[in-house]
Amino acid sequence: MRQRELEFYKRLLLRRLDELYAEAKRAKDQVKETDEPSPDPFDQASNQFDRDFLLRLKDRERKLMEKIQEALERIENGTFGICVECGGKISQKRLHARPVATLCIDCKNEQESLEKRRSSERPREAPSIFLAA
């Protein structure tokens, strides 16, 4: 991959990382604002639900931040844009859509196909109404 393209992806990833850090700070401030106890149990439950939802979102963003850091490391060590499975090039189109991608589209499709087969092979649990004695 050409240096100009690597610089483009580096700027893109750094910009997204900055956005995620800013969002995390806003979320932290927002959680602090809603930490005030309420005498109403419905308000308490609603506040707890909102906090839990926000924390789940932030956990997903934390994982994305880790993937961005890994992509930046791949740029630095010269492996960015190379499929970790087959060693082939990851297409520019795929990298534009998902710059943290580590698999080419063929390997990603194969991975998803395997995951789908594994999930369909698992025995399904009987609904609990049939398990009652």
Tell me the DSSP string of 7-41.
Answer: HHHHHHHHHHHHHHHHHHHHHHHHHHHTTS--S-H
Is the overall model pTM greater than 0.85, yes or no?
A: no
Does residue 133 lie in a domain region?
no
Mean pLDDT for all residues in the chain = 85
Spatial separation of the C-alpha atoms in residues 99 and 112, rounded to whole Å: 19
Same domain, 63 and 112: no
Q: Containing domain of residue 96, as a range?
A: 81-122
pLDDT at 41: 77
User: Is the pLDDT confidence value at 128 over 80?
Assistant: no
User: Is the pLDDT confidence value at 34 over 60?
Assistant: no
Spatial separation of the C-alpha atoms in residues 103 and 86, rounded to whole Å: 8
pLDDT at 19: 92
**Which of 17-21, 26-30, 68-72, 89-93 comes out lowest in average pLDDT?**
26-30
pLDDT at 40: 75
Same domain, 44 and 57: yes
Same domain, 55 and 113: no
pLDDT at 61: 87
Residue 14: CATH number of its domain: 1.20.120.910
More confident residue, 37 or 62: 62
Element (H, E) at 131: helix 128-131
* Structure confidence by residue, pLDDT tens digits, 99-122: 999 999 999 999 999 999 988 887
Same domain, 60 and 86: no
